[in-house]
Amino acid sequence: MAGLLSFRGEDVGIDLGTASVLIYMRGKGIVLREPSVIAMVSDTKEVKAVGAEAYRMLGRTPGNIVAARPLKDGVIADYTLTERMLTLFIKKVLPPLRFFRPQVMVGVPSGVTEVERRAVVQAIVEAGAKRAYLIDEPLAAAIGAGIKIAEPTGSMVVDIGGGSSDIAVISLGGIVRSTSLRIAGNEFDDSIIRFIRNKYNLLIGERTAEELKIKIGAAKRLPGEQDAVAEVRGRDLISGLPKSIEVTTEDVVEALKEPLEKIVQGVKSVLETTPPELVADIIDRGILLTGGGALLRNLDLLLQEATGVPVVVAENAVEAVALGTGKALDMLHVLRDALVTSDNVLRR
């Protein structure tokens, strides 16, 4: 997810994501980039850590402390924790004495329900915003990547985050066709965990799986390309004891086949229902890949082969949504019909 604040004339953007939160301030760029994790004492609910510090605690906390991800699949899974995490992040970048409450624009996966939208709006308002705007993530990603979304020309954006993959065709400042899949980076990690368990009888943790994906992972192997190898540690499921093994790129490619196939199908299904004039534009301009998942090696090639349309990874793939929500507050006149505002949502 993503968004923007306005404080004493300063515009600030927030990307509230499943994997990480990014805050963007005009004139300053990205001022905060932290994992979306909060750690607290289970019985007193006292916050122990947020962001990077809490991330290091994931899977490593003693019984009385719990480190959790309050967002799941791109939407709010735990409302109270999300609001507390957000408040602490905002405090880190905005001065403590706030006379003017800021406006916030939040990017949400295009498939979120009304109840989920309400939860996001409420968390942002509770965190101190005067007004919250919601914008669909792929629209924000397109703006952030520099696409002129107001033109009557079709563009396709595939934003692969931690919890959701958003696929959308954009024209004239709005989304013409879209789908949101709850299959993205986290699901890739889970697939790697399952694969290693089945093939090597080794149980590895979430963080180890993510490291494997980033270090040696790929969406496909290229002919003649040498496989990378990484050592991973986990628990041998037969002996119950710690063990380390070597995993190759080929393993990771195999592990990611299933979730990637679902994303390819999602892209094809959106293309199939897109009006032909816009398809022609997309063939000319190519599909734009954004989000952290876009950095998976050779994903552009895989998608290009599957669709026959050129695919380009955005230069600022990870920041695109945050930058886009920042810019979106300056484009309210163009985006009016595409936005949801807290004034409307909370009145209902």
Ligand X SMILES: Nc1ncnc2c1ncn2[C@@H]1O[C@H](COP(=O)(O)OP(=O)(O)OP(=O)(O)O)[C@@H](O)[C@H]1O
- The Cα 33–Cα 14 span in angstroms is 10
Q: Is 294 marked as a binding-site residue?
A: yes
Q: Is 3 marked as a binding-site residue?
A: no
User: Strand 20-25 relative to strand 10-16: parallel, antiparallel, unpaired?
Assistant: antiparallel
Candidate residues 6, 7, 18, 121; the one interacting with ligand X per rule CB under 6 A: 18
Estimate the crossing angle of helix 137-144 against helix 320-328, to 10 degrees: 90
Candidate residues 19, 212, 311, 340; the one interacting with ligand X per rule CB under 6 A: 19
The answer to whether 164 contacts ligand X (rule: CB under 6 A) is yes
The answer to whether 296 contacts ligand X (rule: CB under 6 A) is yes
- Whole-number Cα distances in Å, 41 to 37, 64, 122: 14, 6, 24
Place of tokens 């994997």: 19
Nearer of residues 132 and 278 to ligand X, judged by Cβ: 132
Q: Which of residues 229-268 bind ligand X (CB under 6 A)?
A: none
Judged by DSSP in three states, 110 sits in coil
Binding mask 74-93 for ligand X (x = CB under 6 A): x-------------------
**Total of residues contacting ligand X (CB under 6 A):** 25
DSSP 206-261: HHHHHHHHHHH--SSPPTTPPPPEEEEEEEETTT-SEEEEEEEHHHHHHHHHHHHH
Contact 105, 133 (CB under 8 A): yes
Binding mask 37-76 for ligand X (x = CB under 6 A): -------------------------------------x--
Q: Which of residues 134-163 bind ligand X (CB under 6 A)?
A: 137, 161-163
- In the complex, the smallest distance separating the C-beta of residue 280 from ligand X, rounded to whole angstroms, is 29
Token code pair at residue 9:
């004339």
- In the complex, the smallest distance separating the C-beta of residue 145 from ligand X, rounded to whole angstroms, is 13
Residues found near ligand X in the complex (CB under 6 A): 1, 15, 17-20, 74, 137, 161-164, 184-186, 210, 213-214, 217, 291-293, 295-296, 318
Residue ranges for the binding site for ATP? 162-164, 210-213, 292-295
